[in-house]
Amino acid sequence: MRIYSMNKSLPPNGNLCRFVIDSQQITRICLFLIAAIGISGGLLQLYLGQPETTARLDNVHRFMVGIYVGCGIISLWAGITIARQNTLVFLLALGVNKKLAKQ
């Protein structure tokens, strides 16, 4: 098991929260990918809206886009702070799994 350091040296206080193991590094990459898809796709849909529909459906579409962008931001934050996260990463993975299962 390799350990990656974000600052290439052990901190003076011996705090290992800046070190990330292999599985966390893979999870970090996946979270950044989910964040990029959520934020960019959500902002694009927010800009485009729901074409040729009623105002009520457009409002629902934009509300769901807000949730999509919010999940992207949470995934980005979890990816940045992955060494300190435990349960949050698993909850985000469960949400992604539910999205993929519906397709």
Average pLDDT of span 9-14: 50
pLDDT of 76 reads: 92
Asked if residue 19 has pLDDT above 80, the reply is no
Mean of all residue pLDDT scores within the chain: 77
Q: Is pLDDT larger for residue 100 or for residue 22?
A: 22
Average pLDDT over residues 77-82: 88
With H, G, I as helix, E, B as strand and everything else as coil, classify residue 12.
coil
Predicted pLDDT of residue 33: 93
Domain boundaries, the chain: 22-102
pLDDT at residue 101, rounded to an integer:
59
Which regions of the chain does DSSP assign to beta strands (E)?
Answer: 3-5, 19-21
Cβ atoms within 10 Å of 39's Cβ, excluding its own: 18
